[in-house]
Every structure is written in C-alpha cells, then in structure tokens.
Amino acid sequence: MTCNTCIRSVIAQGGIFSKARSQLSNIRRDLHAVLHLGYPLKLKLAINLSMMVDSGSTAKRGPVVDVHAEKDDDGGCVSGEWKSEDGKLSCGFSSFRGKRATMEDFYDIKHTKIDGQTVCMFGIFDGHGGSHAAEYLKEHLFDNLMKRPQFMENPKLAISETYQQTDVDFLDSEKDTYRDDGSTASTAVLVGNHLYVANVGDSRTVISKAGKAIPLSEDHKPNRSDERKRIESAGGVVMWAGTWRVGGVLAMSRAFGNRMLKQFVVAEPEIQDQKIDEEFELLVLASDGLWDVVPNEDAVSIAQTEEEPEAAARKLTEAAFTRGSADNMTCIVVRFHHDKADKGNAQSN
C-alpha cells in the first residue's frame, strides 16, 4: 500500500461571498465522497478554503486554513501534511479504506488565529451504520466550536457544549430520514500552548511525552464500570453479543447520532487538558481500526521512526493493515518542534 503526497493548502486573501462559499462547500463534499468510495481513478484535487468566522463575539478572527488531500492511487487511500508558518508545529494524516467496501472514517484539520492567538484543531470521526454522522461532524463540529462566544475564555465549556449541540443539530437534520447511523469523535484543540483533547466513542488520542505514550482519552466501551452504571441508571441494558453492547446493538457507550439509543448513548465528551512544554514530542489521533491492533506504546514508537508526520501517519496505517485490521483506518500525527534555547532553559531550571 502506498500513499503519495499531493496536498497544497493555500490561504486566500479577503472574505468569500456567501454564494461562492456555498459552491465550494458543495464541491468539497462531492469530491470528498468520491475520494472515500475508492473508485479506480486518479484525481488531482486541491481545495482551498478561507473564511472569516462569525462568532457573535468581538473576537478578531483570521482566515481558516482547511487542510485537504489529493487521491493518488486506486486503493482508497489519501494522505497529506501541513506545517505552521512559525515552524513550531507540523502534522500529517493518512486515511485508508482497508478491506471495507465503503469508507466511513473522516478527518478534519483546521488552523487559524483568534485575537492574535494561534488555534489548531485536529479531529478523527469514525462512522458506524453509515457515513452521514461522521461526515456531518467533519463539516460542522469545528466551525460550530469557533462560533461559540466563550471559546477563547473557556475552551473546555465551549467544547463540551459544542459536542452536545452538534449532536442535537445532526439528529434534527436526519429527522425525516430512515437512517440511524452514528459516529465517534476524538479531537485535539490547541489554543496557544494549551491542548484540549475531547472524546466520544472509541477513537483515541495518545501523546508522546519524554518518550512515554500517554493516552489522553479513554475509550467509551459499554463494559466500562462507570459507563455501564450510567446506562443502567438511565434504564438501559448492557449485554454480550460477540462483544459488550448497549442493548445488544452498539459496541460503544457514547456516540453522535444513534437516535434509537440516544437515551443511553450520549454525545457528552470527556475532556483532558494539558499545557504543552518541551517534553511533549508528538500527538497521535486515530480511529479504532488502528487502535484495535496497534497498542499505544507501539503507535508512539512507530511514529517516532519518521521525522515527517505524514510519513509517520502512513506508516501507522500500513502497520495496522499488516497486523490484520479489517476496518477503515485513519490517523493524524502532530509533531511539536521546540526551540533548542527553550529546551536548554527548561533543563537549567
């Protein structure tokens, strides 16, 4: 399996008229769907999107860099990378359909400045029962977050409220359909040097700190003691059906969508926050197609063998495939580049 890089992210100057923005959104959605179907054709695709975010607050917000990939093979695999202008951050991603007939994984990477503060957002969305919920999150979750007036003042509250409101909005958008799919969400939001990791479902985020793999999220499985208690207190039941499932149906205890189980399967995220210092080396976000066969420690070890984060992300998805993962696999690797002077000062202190 190979994934050749064909990504170019360009920041457009000025605003975008609403009609043009709508057309770009439609083109992006249609082409993204084609990419994930794995059709045997090669597309040379570079989508550039710049927009001013209307948050309803007085915060001064710059253009948003929305990172996308080009397809360069017929295996349903895409990859790409992005680097910050100041050289302090770089990220790469790889998304592979694998042995599945369809692709239900989505990812989102955005970068902007708010009141002069750098804001970076990374997200993995793993759909189940269909791709609509995961695609909805890709299209709306981070945009909704940036529109929260209290985002910069209280990021944790804004993230929690955004997750739950986006779930409500998705369910409302699907009310006239017979679909009942759902999605996980594992996101990392970097505001300046403060990292906020939020999780719903069984996608996962792991950080490498001083060479040690530290999970920043805990999978929402129905047999987790606190999750089982929450579900049963709400009148639900957790039972074994090949694996532990809510109502014998869903193998995770929190998710977006899943209207029929919504009373028990909530979209309230668990959030961890960390201050990034010189010991933080890299961040790995991935869907369970990777985590089912690649332990946290292995993921960090594999990622550290590659200097470029895109190569690291590709290597991780290749490792998952080689180890027998039959699921969709999507991975984002974020590498922190610290100044040598900062490291020296920290060590002397």
Backbone phi and psi for residue 67, each to the nearest 5 degrees, phi listed first: -85, 130
Ordered by start, the domain boundaries in the chain are 18-220+255-348
Q: How many CA atoms lie within 13 A of 169 on its CB side?
A: 12
CA dihedral 215, 93, 124, 70 (to 10 degrees): 180
Q: CA 47, CA 123: separation in Å to the nearest integer? A: 18
Taking only the tens place, the pLDDT of each residue in 203-240 is 999 999 999 999 999 999 999 999 999 999 999 999 99
Q: What is the pTM of this model?
A: 0.81
| Residue 98 in this model has a pLDDT that exceeds 60 | yes
**Residue 185 phi, psi (nearest 5):** -155, 120
Superfamily of domain 18-220+255-348, CATH level 4: PPM-type phosphatase domain (3.60.40.10)
The span from the CA of 236 to the CA of 250, in Å, is: 12
pLDDT tier at 321, thresholds 50, 70, 90: very high
Q: How confident is the model at residue 57 (pLDDT cuts 50, 70, 90)?
A: low
